[in-house]
């Protein structure tokens, strides 16, 4: 039987690549696995040889020690792979298929799934609606930053690429379909972006860059990206965004007015989440900053897309309220301006097929927008460390060397 290496959380600030069990079609006990999920049989699932798996900002929250994630948790919810084994109940997905895996695990059978709300499936997480691979309090499904991984409910969830050779040519774009591209796109759609919209995106990390590119695809006339990191802002400018450096000025409305002539936008997207900082030269962590600032600069009647992650347990928060997800949000301002808010996980399956088609046609250039950069699975700790330092890259882990073979010019040169 083949071995299986994986990226494992080792405590605040630390990950390691370790040998773990080769997967089978059962959810076994382990770090973070809900006791009610132990022994769960998954003959509706498949085993994947992981072709690519990405480091996500949501993973970084755990690795920084800002969640209740247990040591030993196998990380990774952005997965693209080749099917090498199918369960007896799988009818349509076949061995050899190259597929994208939505990060939210969904059964396809509950009320939420039948209504298209695959991000809040009722049957995969005993604690609450919704689940994901390799993530804290999400049921304990083993993460995919590994060589091999088990994926349940294969016929319902998996997006099969129509041509394997073409898919490998486009793999740096297609690997973003498991999370980041649909998440950014969902943020833009939720914010009501359409032809001619003016859009503000808070955060120039990979999700923010994906949201900015998505806003362009949806027809925005101007996309403004705000961040504290000048390197990431430079990446946003590389594909046509306007930018504001929030470390140099604390009046966001004034900076927007310098670009648009008015201190407001039609639509705003929060791609930062609960580790947000305030604005200005002396900025410190202030988790409600982004939510309050986008209410201030979004026009009356506008919409706010909030794909940025907010949690119910943050042991590293500055105050007791924030430790349980309670923030000082100016809800009265949002009410007075009749804002529309959309929060929560992204229902990936609602978007991934059409975004795949946009990639395959050449319309979407998501790998370029987020600066997709390939590293070997063994170098995952370097990727986590450099990502945490604020590099303007989206790290793509390559467990079997297939991505590097197809795209040798995208390999990361370690500093």
The answer to whether residue 280 scores a pLDDT higher than 90 is no
133-155 residue pLDDT tens: 999 999 999 999 999 999 999 99
Topology of domain 186-343 in CATH is: Rossmann fold (3.40.50)
Say what the pLDDT of residue 250 is: 86
Q: Could you tell me if 307 and 270 are in contact, meaning their C-beta atoms sit under 8 angstroms apart?
A: yes
Say what the pLDDT of residue 237 is: 98
For the chain, the domains span 5-179+347-410, 186-343
Say what the pLDDT of residue 305 is: 98
CA distance 297 to 269: 11
Own/partner pairs, 281-286, CB within 8 angstroms, 24+ separation: 281/247, 281/248, 283/228, 283/246, 283/247, 285/318
CA distance 78 to 134: 10
CA distance 301 to 267: 10
194-240 residue pLDDT tens: 999 999 999 999 999 999 999 999 999 999 999 999 999 999 999 99
Report the pLDDT averaged over residues 270-281.
Answer: 90
Counting residues of the chain whose pLDDT is more than 90, the rounded percentage is 90
Answer with the residue of higher pLDDT: 82 or 317: 82
Say what the pLDDT of residue 1 is: 53
What is the chain's mean pLDDT, rounded?
96
Question: Per residue, what are the HEC states of the chain?
Answer: CCCCEEEEECCCCCEEEEECCCCCCEECCCCCCCHHHCCEECCCCEEEEEEEEECCHHHHHHHCCCCCCCCCCECCCCEEEEEEEECCCCCCCCCCCEEEECCECCCCCCHHHHCCCHHHCCCCCCCCCCCECCCCCCCCCCCCCECEEEECCHHHHCEECCCHHHHHHCHHHHHHHHCHHHHHHHHHHHCCCCCCCEEEEECCCHHHHHHHHHHHHCCCCEEEEEECCHHHHHHHHCCCCEEEECCCCCCHHHHHHHHHCCCCEEEEEECCCCCCECCCCCCCECCCHHHHHHHHHEEEEEEEEECCCCCCCCCCCCCHHHHCCCCCCCHHHHHHCCCEEEECCCCHHHCHHHHHHHHHCCCCCHHHHHCEEEEEHHHHHHHHHHHHCCCCCEEEEECCCHHHHHCHHHECCCC
User: Class assignment of domain 5-179+347-410?
Assistant: alpha beta
pTM (2 d.p.): 0.96
């Amino acid at each position: 039987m083949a071995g299986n290496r994986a990226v494992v959380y080792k405590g605040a600030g630390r990950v390691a690549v370790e040998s773990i069990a080769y997967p089978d079609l059962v959810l076994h006990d382990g770090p973070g696995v809900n006791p009610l999920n132990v022994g769960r049989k998954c003959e509706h699932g498949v085993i994947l040889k992981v072709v690519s798996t990405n480091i996500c900002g949501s993973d970084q929250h755990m690795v920084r020690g800002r969640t209740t994630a247990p040591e030993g948790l196998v990380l990774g919810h952005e997965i693209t792979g080749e099917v090498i084994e199918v369960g007896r109940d799988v009818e349509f997905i076949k061995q050899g298929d190259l597929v994208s895996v939505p990060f939210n695990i969904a059964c396809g059978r509950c009320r939420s799934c039948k209504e298209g709300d695959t991000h809040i499936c009722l049957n995969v997480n005993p604690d609450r609606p919704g689940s994901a691979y390799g993530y804290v309090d999400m049921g304990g499904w083993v993460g995919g930053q590994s060589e091999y991984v088990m994926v349940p409910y294969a016929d319902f969830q998996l997006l099969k690429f129509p041509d394997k050779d073409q898919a490998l040519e486009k793999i740096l774009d297609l690997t973003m379909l498991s999370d980041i591209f649909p998440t950014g796109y969902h943020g833009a759609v939720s914010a009501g972006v359409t032809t001619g919209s003016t859009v503000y995106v808070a955060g120039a990390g990979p999700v923010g860059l994906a949201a900015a590119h998505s806003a362009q695809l949806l027809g925005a006339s101007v996309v403004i990206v705000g961040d504290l990191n000048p390197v990431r802002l430079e990446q946003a400018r590389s594909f046509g965004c306007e930018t504001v450096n929030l470390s140099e000025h604390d009046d966001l409305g004034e900076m927007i007015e310098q670009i648009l002539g008015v201190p407001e936008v039609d639509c705003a997207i929060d791609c930062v989440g609960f580790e947000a900082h305030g604005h200005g030269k002396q900025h410190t962590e202030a988790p409600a900053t982004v939510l309050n600032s986008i209410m201030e600069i979004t026009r009356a009647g506008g919409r706010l897309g909030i794909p940025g992650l907010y949690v119910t347990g943050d042991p590293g928060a500055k105050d007791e309220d924030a430790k349980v997800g309670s923030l000082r949000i100016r809800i009265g301002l949002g009410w007075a301006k009749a804002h529309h808010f959309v929060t929560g996980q992204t229902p990936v399956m609602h978007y991934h097929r059409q975004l795949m088609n946009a990639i395959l046609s050449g319309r979407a250039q998501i790998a370029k927008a987020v600066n997709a950069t390939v590293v070997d699975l063994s170098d995952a700790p370097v990727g986590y460390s450099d990502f945490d330092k604020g590099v303007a890259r989206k790290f793509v882990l390559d467990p079997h060397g297939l991505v590097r073979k197809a795209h040798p010019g995208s390999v990361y040169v370690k500093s």
